[in-house]
């Protein structure tokens, strides 16, 4: 059982290794957004919400080294806003409505979805496009309905939600590492 568990993750890491150029390019985009003084806006549902909040926390706080706070907002962190929007506009609008209020030219949305099929994530990516901001979709499985909606996407081609979320966590830490190198 443990061997199979480890092998699933090793296979997923092998897939990531083949995306090195893309991953470095994405990290460079995030660094550029922050160097311009723009914001990273994050979102996700469930476990992906935790990852979205984790990324914004690492940026506004710190990852490893002390540095200035970097502008980041987790769109899934404000329970009052989420429940208001879900009640008044529908749950599919919880992130897109906030993007309409917060997104500024030069910002970047980072959306997490282990399936890619969450309607709220699809709407957020569409809202980012409509707002003219860059977007990064960290997706799983085959990318689902979110595939092709973001400026850039990274798809972890695993049917295991746990594997997808573990690699998304690895990636957000990799991006934080690259961001801190630029702001050291």
Domains defined for the chain, CATH in brackets = 74-184 (3.40.50.10490)
What is the per-residue burial (b if ≥16 Cβ within 10 Å, else e) of 28-46? ebbbebbeeebbbbbbbbe
The pLDDT of residue 7 is 87
Looking at residue 12, its pLDDT comes to 83
pTM above 0.85, yes or no: yes
Say which residue, 2 or 37, is predicted with more confidence: 37
pLDDT at 1 over 90: no
148 — pLDDT class (breaks 50, 70, 90): very high
pLDDT 10s digits, 77-107: 999 999 999 999 999 999 999 999 999 999 9
């Amino acid at each position: 059982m443990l061997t199979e568990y480890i092998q699933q993750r090793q296979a997923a890491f092998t897939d990531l290794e083949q995306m090195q150029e893309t991953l470095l390019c994405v990290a460079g985009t995030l660094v550029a957004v922050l160097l311009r003084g723009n914001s990273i806006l994050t979102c996700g549902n469930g476990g992906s919400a935790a990852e979205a909040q984790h990324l914004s926390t690492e940026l506004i706080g710190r990852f490893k080294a002390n540095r200035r706070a970097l502008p980041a907002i987790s769109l899934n962190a404000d329970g009052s806003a989420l429940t208001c929007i879900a009640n008044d506009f529908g749950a599919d609008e919880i992130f897109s409505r906030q993007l309409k209020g917060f997104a500024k030219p030069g910002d970047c949305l980072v959306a997490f979805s282990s399936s890619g099929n969450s309607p709220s994530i699809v709407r957020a990516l569409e809202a980012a496009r409509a707002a003219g901001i860059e977007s990064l979709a960290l997706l799983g499985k085959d990318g689902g309905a979110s595939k092709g909606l973001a400026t850039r996407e990274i798809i972890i081609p695993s049917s295991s939600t746990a594997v997808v979320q573990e690699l998304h966590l690895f990636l957000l830490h990799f991006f934080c590492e690259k961001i801190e190198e630029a702001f050291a």
